[in-house]
Chains A and B, each alone.
Chain A
Amino acid sequence: MSGYADPGFDTLALHAGASPDPATGARAVPIHLTTSFVFESSEHAQSLFNLERAGHVYSRISNPTNAVLEQRVAALEGGIGAITTASGQAALHLCIATLMGAGSHIVASTALYGGSQNLLHYTLRRFGIDTTFVPPGDIDAWRAAVQPNTKLFFGETVGNPGLDVLDIPTVAALAHEHGVPLLVDSTLTSPWLMQPLALGADLVYHSATKFLSGHGTVIGGIVVDGGSFDWASAFARSGKFSELAAPYEGFHNMNFSEESTVGAFLLRARREGLRDFGACMSPHSAWLILQGVETLGLRMERHMRNTEKVVQFLASQSFVGRVGHPLLESHPSYGLAQKLLPRGAGSVFSFDLKGNREQGKKFIETLKIFSHLANVGDCRSLVIHPASTTHFRMTDEALAGAGITQGTIRLSIGLEDADDLIDDLKRALKAAEKAGAQ
């Protein structure tokens, strides 16, 4: 089917969650820069606070502009709804804080963004939440890491920056066998490359700062619930997830699973997580991210086309060692990427120079089109040295687990002309090689 009732990806990217503004006729989504919303009456106010009626009260909890972004990304991911957050890290924290407290345990992939690794390895341990890290492709390790208090499996669709593809169907099945959900960070793939919920994941989040926004202008995050995990049954079997399946004194003794058979997570995450932790997204940020989402399909197609050309170029260079992209048969995730990511495994990847640290520095400093900065998923091409920046707090062992060496360079391929990108890389490689000869 097709048409308004059953639209495709690009139509949803433009229309989901939004219609012309009934008050003004504005076609683009208005930015509702207001902290709060007037109640029609005292009775209306009470009904909104008590979840008897749906609507906006205060922009920390919800906002009409944010709600458009939430519906839109939920639609693109095949979820039941979403919650926007201040950043991708806030999204990850919201997921974890909604599902567990002190004494809980997470099994997570070693191939994580450095910030996520920090949160799990250091910060959450301070709050009594422990994590066991396992190589994403080692299914036996995932199984062996499960403890009686395990509440969550967590990984990235493709690891940053090694692009280890997470075998979501297998890891999700294992998680469900142990009565826990699978949460995935889908930042690097975006829903255009992969829809993790359809593959078996239960919760998905994005650093919307990256491909969803796509223009390097705004920080934001978003969590999407697939509505697939049965919190009530898991609670009945194991006593886990009382947060979602038992009365909660902090919200009128509400049992979120009774309120909503499929939406308990979103109800609590918004009503407790945004209320109490407060890591909400500004409506202005939501609007900026919406501008990016509207062209997500077009941009991702170009990102992938450029990436393919750059990967082929780098793989042919004698001064380049490993090129870590699953487009190449040499990549450990080549087969899995063919199966799970038929449109491509992303445009953020790493490669190793056959040189020392100084040559790496020369390479980065010679680039003119690639910008040296700590971000990915921009429309402009970017470059960074992970071991000394994004992942610098990690031990050598943890770095190795994430596929990073001291000579690793990470690229985020943008939307420029591919020939110009290749020319930029060619000049930088030559300069770096020459620096080694001096």
Chain B
Amino acid sequence: MNYSVNGAQAYCYTGGKAFDAAKPTVVFIHGVLNDHSVWILQSRYLAHHGWNVLAVDLPGHCRSGGEAPSTVEEAADFIGTLLDAAGVANAALVGHSWGSLIALEAASRLQERIHHLVLVGTAFPMKVSPLLLETSISDPMKALEMINVFSRSTLAAPPSALGPGTWVFGAGMALGRRVLDSNTEVNVFHRGFKACNDYGNGLQAMAAVRCPVLFVLGAQDQMTQEKAAKPLIDAARASDKSVTVVSLPVGHHQMNETPDATLFAIRDFLTTE
């Protein structure tokens, strides 16, 4: 489904179901060099179990036009404008990696409009190594391989996004190449990483969030190590929110290497008050 946001087309995958204003809405936000399709299983399931799903391609990524966001704050503004364009009064936000920071910042800005916040593979600060930042410009293919190596935790993933026979590492590489190629104006790899690296408002944003928060972390995650989420978890608990932390035996490919466990964690959380 396409919306017009800030004068550009914004694509959202709706999970194979038409948008229904009577249903609650959940917005899925992808990370760097990803798009809506990383959420294929979780979003399709929820769309068929009582939810409106908007799994967005961020601006300048794949099916969405517009300028790729340079900062987490810009991307968070986009999410708010997208909700307005879709006529969504309130929603749950689910973000992965960079998308988790965008979801966090958006939730802090949108206040009561956000009733659940899910942060998958998150960290704060989300510092990116200088080598990776530099390589994302000088040799994006090498950097893409590095992040996929750092992201995986198994050579034998269960049936995944493409069903049985999915080679998650190869799928991650192919999607990264496609997303990078989808924007000929901007290196969205470097821009996304820099946005993660530069974001400094995480703790204040968490303090301002008004809804329950779920953390879905990977015990073997080398991109956003589990311990690196602690400052956000502490900030959430310090501000008297309902906080749930789920640790999965997985790396940074939570949605594809542990698709069911990730889905169930999100599903169960979304049904809590």
Contact = CB atoms under 8 A, between A and B. Distances in A.
Interface string A67-79: 1101100110011
A80 B167 contact: yes
A259 interface: yes
A1 B135 CA distance: 15
A260 B37 contact: yes
Chain A contact residues, majority secondary structure: loop
Interface string A250-278: 00111000111111001100110000000
Nearest to B151: A5
Contact of B163 (A47, A54, A262): A54
A266 B166 CA distance: 9
B241 interface: no
B118 to A, nearest CB: 18
Nearest to A12: B155
B178 A230 contact: yes
Interface stretch (B41-49, B65-73, B87-95, B211-219): B41-49
Interface in A35-81: 47, 50-56, 62-64, 66-68, 70-71, 74-75, 78-81
B45 A47 contact: yes
B3 to A, nearest CB: 15
Given A16-B155, A19-B155, A74 B41 contact: no
Contact of A228 (B44, B159, B166, B174): B174
A262 B165 contact: no
B208 interface: no
Contact of A262 (B45, B160, B174, B263): B174
Nearest to A261: B37
Nearest to B156: A19
Contact of A50 (B48, B156, B162): B48
A375 B234 CA distance: 65
Contacts of B174: 80, 226-228, 262
B149 A1 contact: yes
B28 to A, nearest CB: 14
B48 A81 contact: no
Contacts of B222: 5
Contacts of A228: 174, 177
Contacts of A261: 35-37, 62, 175, 178-179
A7 interface: yes
A4 B41 contact: no
A304 interface: no
Contacts of A6: 149
Given A5-B150, A15-B156, A16-B155, A53 B170 contact: no
B161 interface: yes
Interface in A257-307: 258-263, 266-267, 270-271
A237 to B, nearest CB: 15
A19 B157 CA distance: 9
Given A53-B259, A54-B259, A75-B169, A267 B35 contact: no
Contact of B162 (A15, A68, A81, A226): A81
Contact of B170 (A51, A78, A259): A78
A82 interface: yes
A259 to B, nearest CB: 6
Interface in A203-254: 226-228, 230, 232, 252-254
Contact of A266 (B44, B162, B260): B162
B146 to A, nearest CB: 8
A4 B164 contact: no
Contacts of B36: 261
Given A12-B155, A55-B159, A81 B167 contact: yes
B170 A7 contact: no
A81 B37 contact: no
Contacts of A47: 45, 48
A228 B176 CA distance: 11
Nearest to A84: B165
Interface string B37-63: 100110011001100000000000011
Contacts of A407: none
A74 to B, nearest CB: 4
B210 interface: no
A394 interface: no
A346 interface: no
Interface of B: 13, 16, 35-37, 40-41, 44-45, 48-49, 62-63, 146, 149-150, 152, 154-167, 169-171, 173-175, 177-179, 222, 259-260, 263
Given A51-B163, A227-B171, A266-B166, 14 more contacts: A5-B152, A6-B149, A50-B44, A52-B49, A66-B165, A74-B165, A75-B155, A75-B170, A80-B166, A81-B171, A228-B174, A252-B16, A254-B16, A267-B163
